[in-house]
Chain A
Amino acid sequence: DQQVKQNSPSLSVQEGRISILNCDYTNSMFDYFLWYKKYPAEGPTFLISISSIKDKNEDGRFTVFLNKSAKHLSLHIVPSQPGDSAVYFCAAVNYGGSQGNLIFGKGTKLSVKP
C-alpha cells in the first residue's frame, strides 16, 4: 500500500498561471516532506521542503503547504514558466524508520504551455 500518493499523473497549465501539485500521505509518523523535480535523462533535483512544525514554506515562486490533519501537502508554483515543465515527486521522511528512508510518490508530470 502506497504511503505517499500523487493522484494526478499529469497537469497542464498556461504560462503565467498558478500550478498546484498535490500529495497525500497515510503515515502520521512522517514529519518532514520534500518536493523534487525531475527532467528527462536527469536525476531528481531537490526543490523545497517543509517540516511538520510548519504549515507553509516559501522559496521564490515555489510554496509548499502542509495540512497535517488532512495528511495533505501541495506545491504551488506562481507564476508558472515553460522551464517548470518536468515531473514533480513528493517525498516524505519516516522518522520511525532508518536514515534515508524517503518514501516517494509516483510523480506528477507538469506541462507549462507558452
Chain B
Amino acid sequence: ETGVTQTPRHLVMGMTNKKSLKCEQHLGHNAMYWYKQSAKKPLELMFVYNFKEQTENNSVPSRFSPECPNSSHLFLHLHTLQPEDSALYLCASSHGLAGGRSTDTQYFGPGTRLTVL
C-alpha cells in the first residue's frame, strides 16, 4: 500500500469524450504531481501542485487540465485527446517545502492506463 490511490486504473475514451482522472493521497503530504509515461520513454513531469497552488506546468497541452481542490486530492481533466496521448498517467505526492526546492521524495500511485481511440 503506497498511500496514493488512483482511479480509474484503466480508461478507454474517444477523442471527443471528456473524462477525469482522480488521485488521492493518504500520507499527509502537501505536494502532488502528475506524470505521463509513454511506451519506451522516461516518465515526464506534467504538473506540480504545492500547498494547492500550481507551481509547475511542463508545457502540457491545454487538453489536459489539472485541478487540486485540497492537499489530498488531485484531478486531471481530459478533453479532446489525441491517440498519441495514450499512456500511463501517474500521480505522486511528497511532503513539499515552502521554498519550492527540495530533496523531497515522491511517492507514486499505481497509475491510470489511458487509451485514446
Contact = CB atoms under 8 A, between A and B. Distances in A.
A49 B94 CA distance: 15
Contacts of A51: 103
B41 A106 contact: yes
B49 to A, nearest CB: 9
B100 A46 contact: no
Taking residues whose C-beta sits less than 8 angstroms from the other chain, chain A's interface range is 20 to 34
Interface residues of B, number: 33
Contacts of A95: 101
Contact of A99 (B40, B50, B92, B108): B50
Interface string B6-26: 100000000000000000000
Contacts of A100: 31, 33, 45, 48, 50, 55-56, 94, 104, 106
B42 A93 contact: no
B90 A43 contact: yes
26 contacts: A2-B42, A32-B103, A36-B108, A41-B110, A42-B110, A43-B4, A43-B6, A43-B109, A43-B110, A44-B43, A46-B107, A49-B105, A89-B42, A89-B43, A91-B43, A99-B48, A99-B55, A99-B56, A99-B100, A100-B31, A100-B48, A100-B104, A102-B106, A104-B42, A106-B42, A107-B42
